[in-house]
Amino acid sequence: QQRVFLARALAQEADLYFMDEPLAGVDAATERAIMAVLRDLKAEGKSVICVHHDLQTLRTYFDEVVLLNMRVVASGPVATTATQENLVRTYGGRLTLLSEAAEAVARAELGE
């Protein structure tokens, strides 16, 4: 179903795309295919804004991030914004990060 929604959005040939969790509920192969399409859009000069809750793939898939918790907690480049401190401020004490291991797994899945 996500592929259908993505195809419908792409048919609009817009300059700006808003996507609500385009990777939710898809298998790993479909996730990689969707991300390849989003990277192609970026290469064409298009803007893509995605709602994404998977912190394990955040650094792998996205360049910029806006962290929200009823308000903007932080925004900017993923590398400098998705810090332990900002993520704890966003998610409170309910967050356990295994970032290095998660990033290694994500890179391996992408074949990097």
In tens, the pLDDT along 67-95 reads: 999 999 999 999 999 998 998 889 876 66
Q: Supply the pTM of this predicted model.
A: 0.70
**DSSP assignment of 56-91:** HHHHHH-SEEEEESSSEEEEEEHHHHS-HHHHHHHH
Residue 20 and residue 69 in one domain: no
- In the chain, how many domains are there? 2
Residue 108 and residue 60 in one domain: yes
Q: For the CA atoms of the chain, what is the radius of gyration?
A: 15
| 47 membership: H or E segment, kind and range | strand 47-51
Residue 112 and residue 58 in one domain: yes
- Which domain covers residue 87, as residue numbers? 54-112
Residue 66 and residue 111 in one domain: yes
Residue 76's φ and ψ, nearest 5 degrees, are 145, -165
Residue 11 and residue 58 in one domain: no
Mean pLDDT of the chain: 86
Residue 90 and residue 43 in one domain: no
In tens, the pLDDT along 40-73 reads: 999 999 999 999 988 888 889 999 999 999 999 9
Share of the chain above pLDDT 90, in %: 42
